[in-house]
Amino acid sequence: MKKITEKQAVELLKKHAPSNSVFQKVYQHCKMVQKIALSLAQEIQKNGHLVDLEFIKIASLLHDLGRFQAPPKSEKSLQHGIIGAKILRKLGLPRYALLCERHLGAGITKEEIIKYKLPLPKKDLIPKTIEEKIITYADDLVGDRILTVSEVVQRFKKEIKNPEALKRMVRLHNEIEKLRGGTYFIQ
């Protein structure tokens, strides 16, 4: 697989940003996601699991590459993962592209895409690898600030109104918590 450095990832974000202020906003979010994801990954690794830290370092920066064409609260917002994935595939970075596609919420199933008539490809967009799950989870914890898991669950209840998505978020939390050897599980 083609490799990309952290510097190249930042340059790629800059290239697609419509302005420096928009770049800074997305970049700061991605840096917070990176910090949390790397911290979780290191805990998980210390607990005896194999984790690709280099992939997490770069992929967490690139996960919102599509945000520049699909800003939050815009009509296309939900498509930002697909847009970022398309860019990364063209660059020969399919593993990073998969993360972009799969990082929304705690993932979205094909059935949900059809049921809710979401403007997404009709396929499962669920994080599969340990690295995808860590970055997806870290992204869920980062809003304008770092959120608690309880706040994320409340936000999901309020904004998403999809009981399956909420259950998936809780399962993702519990899976990450178990991998890192934590004790705060949600029922």
* Domain map (residue ranges) of the chain: 6-179
Encode pLDDT of 158-180 as tens digits.
877 788 988 999 999 999 999 99
Mapped onto helix, strand or coil, the DSSP state of residue 155 is helix
Q: Is the pLDDT of residue 10 over 70?
A: yes
Class in CATH terms, 6-179:
mainly alpha
Task: Output the pTM of the full model.
Answer: 0.95
Mind spelling out the 3-state secondary structure of 87-116? Answer: HHHHCCCHHHHHHHHHCCECEECHHHHHHC
Encode pLDDT of 133-161 as tens digits.
999 999 999 977 788 878 887 887 787 77
